[in-house]
A = this chain, B = another copy of it.
């Protein structure tokens, strides 16, 4: 008698606080992935686009896009964490700790740091801290996410609730570790596309990124597969046609990457995402939707020991099927405005 081979995914009962999950499949990222990433989103930040530009300021070569790294690590966690998820609820304490270059092999592990059964007893919330490592064993990325996961059996007993205490924002003192000491005198603002440096931004400033992209099924599917993310809702129309939305759901990471690429128009020198303080996928996104984005500067911060770079905390909002010229976010009643799909709290790094 052989054992069952198909992975059914973990249910809420299968998680325990302290449990460490080593995720499959290690992945060598290459210049091929970087090219496809460019084709899928169109980012124009000079540091990630040009080896010559990156080397001039102190990188070994152009680093891979931070979000390509994030999505790759995230994708690995799906078969172990969220195959039976109902919803991806949030992110926190996400820090990019080391530049990743073409040729680096990434792998991921997650520790369960919290559990809380829902009142309906049909599901519960699982909190994990995920770590991405390169082949030298160095941590390149770390983040917490929490996700609502189905129970196998509503009658099974609830675990003692553990809700981790998460920082409202990453401490500026811990930012910028993925950025080598830069020779900013050699940072060519003209080549980078805009004259604005860290000190040109101020809290309260709102930027309409103006550009927009309409998303196609083939695009989000290719992207999501590139990250080896297997969540069925993104790929299986035959099944989704029977579900709530009647169609495939776009992986939230695709919206993040599109919004980030659009944000070049206004944040051209914010070349690095140092941290994601928090994030919510406010509403689902589907093929055919047109994505716009705008940013609000929440805070500027010096990074201790770094006279080359400074940190900008921004709220990146993605909106679908309406312009961001009026900076849509919330209604009078405090609820998210019609069309808002992403509310992301980032620490960005710019040259000083």
Cβ-based interface call for A33 (8 A): yes
Interface residue? A177 (CB, 8 A):
no
**Chain B residues whose CB sits within 8 angstroms of the CB of A7 once the complex forms:** 193-194, 210, 265-266
In the complex, how many residues of chain A place their beta carbon closer than 8 angstroms to a beta carbon of chain B? 84
A27 at the interface (CB under 8 A from B): yes
26 A-B contacts, Cβ less than 8 Å apart?
Answer: A5-B194, A5-B266, A5-B267, A6-B210, A24-B44, A24-B191, A24-B192, A24-B268, A25-B49, A25-B50, A30-B102, A32-B33, A32-B34, A39-B223, A41-B225, A42-B228, A52-B105, A52-B135, A53-B105, A211-B230, A212-B232, A212-B235, A216-B216, A216-B221, A218-B219, A238-B290
Which 7 residue pairs are nearest across A and B when measured between Cβ atoms?
A32-B35, A24-B193, A42-B225, A238-B290, A26-B50, A218-B218, A32-B32
Least CB distance, A299 to chain B, in whole angstroms? 14
Which residues on the B side are within 8 Å of A45 (C-beta)? 25
A237 at the interface (CB under 8 A from B): yes
B235:A40 contact, CB within 8 angstroms: no
CB atoms of A3 and B200 under 8 A apart: yes
Please report which residues of chain A, range 159-218, place their CB below 8 angstroms from some CB of chain B when the two chains form the complex: 190-194, 196, 200-202, 205, 207-214, 216-218
Given known A191-B26, A219-B221, contact A200–B2 (CB-CB < 8 A): yes
Q: Which residues 299-352 of A sit at the B interface, judged by CB distance below 8 A?
A: 321-322
Is A18 positioned at the interface, with any CB of B under 8 Å from its CB? no
**Is the CB–CB distance between B218 and A216 below 8 Å?**
yes
Q: Which residue of B lies closest to A203 (CB)?
A: B2
Is the C-beta of A100 less than 8 angstroms from some C-beta in chain B? no
Chain B residues with CB under 8 A of A6:
207-210, 265-266
Q: Are A248 and B2 in touch, CB under 8 angstroms?
A: no
Which of A5, A25, A209, A211 counts the most B-chain CB atoms under 10 A from its CB? A5
Q: How far is the CA of A236 from the CA of B212 in the complex (A)?
A: 6
Chain A residues 248-286 with CB under 8 Å of chain B are 248, 265-268
A46 and B25 contacting across the interface, CB-CB below 8 Å: yes
Q: Is the CB of B35 within 8 A of A30?
A: yes
For residue A86, CB closer than 8 A to chain B, the reply is no
Confirm or deny: A62 has a beta carbon within 8 angstroms of a beta carbon on chain B.
yes
| Nearest B-chain residue to A62, judged by Cβ | B28
A36 within 8 A of B: yes
Chain B residues, CB < 8 A from A248: 214
A52 to B49 Cα, complex, angstroms: 26
Complex CA–CA separation, A191 to B24 (angstroms): 4
A235→B211 contact, CB < 8 A:
yes
Chain B, Cβ-Cβ closest to A195 = B3
Residue A154 is within 8 A (CB to CB) of chain B in the complex: no
